[in-house]
Structure 1
Amino acid sequence: MELSYEIRRSTKRKKLTITVERDRSVVVHAPANVSDGAVRQLVDKKRLWLFEKLQHEQKYQPLPHPPGKELVNGEAALYLGRAYRIELVDDSDGGIRFAGKFLIPRSHVRQRRQVLRQWYVERAREKILPRVCSQAHGLGVAFEQATINDSCYRWGSCTPGNNLHFNWRLIKAPMFVIDYVIVHELAHLIEANHTPRFWNIVRAQLTAMDRARDWLRDNGQRLEEDV
């Protein structure tokens, strides 16, 4: 069976790695001087693993929710792993407030996705980025920069330049899941590939690793849903 993939080369990268994105695309990250033949060799070696990833039903099925539904009182939105009720309020000036529920001004209903997204992004910067520093200290590693981004296909990433990026949608997940994604990306600063050593590093830093992976497998699509 034919397997298509994209090669992304970088002068900063030292090792060949393969990732399967959530849109089913296969990406090979390669040092600039690695030949196409060496890339093909790695893809052939990982072919069985790649097909298993590509056939993962839950992770890659289309989202079930219909787009553009009306926002009404009583709907719920996720935050740190829990669903909180949405209440529309007569407040023409302020933005979204959170007080055990989401208080959204009626004037923002038409822009609900944008304003709620911005609220999530702000909370992600506020809560996730400090934990990156804390977990990095625990692992004894240093990174260049950590940012919150809008990646559609990855929860987190670690670049060859030791920059870390985290999907803002993670703020909807429980904190132990957020910590897992953080530690996962930080561990790549020690071990680039998903080797047994890599997983031992993650598990040693985060005892809830398996529980977090299970949670993402079962609930990852909920993080991607709009309100």
Structure 2
Amino acid sequence: MALWSLTRWRRPRAERRYPDPLTMHQLWMVSLSAPVNWDRDASRTTLYPFTRIDDDAARQWLAGQWEITSREKLIGRLDGLARTGYRARVHRLLGVAPLAWDAALYVDITRRGFGSGMISEAEAWTALKNIVPTVVRTYASWHEYADHYLLGRKVWRDGLQGRSEAALPAPHAVAEAHLRALLDPANRASPWNLAPWDAISNPDHARRLQRGRT
């Protein structure tokens, strides 16, 4: 087994540091980033972004992908995604503003900001709550959310043409397959099945932590 793999498996699981299971509303908010989180190390049922504790990985990802190296830059990036994000450009091109693409990125960056220590747990939940009303007003189901996410991602990826294939993100077909799995009603591990769309509009309640399903 590779050294990096051994090191990873020696790290404690996220639930060891954060043992309290998310409430239904909390899981729903975290699940907004599910389209982005297809890596096998990604956690989909905790606020912490990985299945195992790796704060350095969160910091490195924020710096490498978004040039976020400080709390101020993190907050500025989140503010930009909440206000206009990439959907403004898509709207100019297609007349449609795919909020889901920006919302998924917003939640993903928030979670990694928490994982990196740039913001506290309370601040991360506040950030996620801030985007909920706009998302709920815009979509009526995870299917609608998924469709707009894919639209935003496609326009974004198409705008990267000219780079080498190795430098491009995963092909669109890979993203589509990931979204189909999330929407599959038979997928018991899908956070979208664990937290149905209308759950956020109903009273919040505690839920059992399903060990091993992240």
**TM-score of the superposition, structure 1-length normalised?**
0.28
The structure showing larger relative contact order (alpha-carbon pairs under 8 Å, at least 6 residues apart) is 2
**Structure index of larger Rg:** 1
| Structure with greater proportional strand content | 1
**TM-score of the superposition, structure 2-length normalised?**
0.29
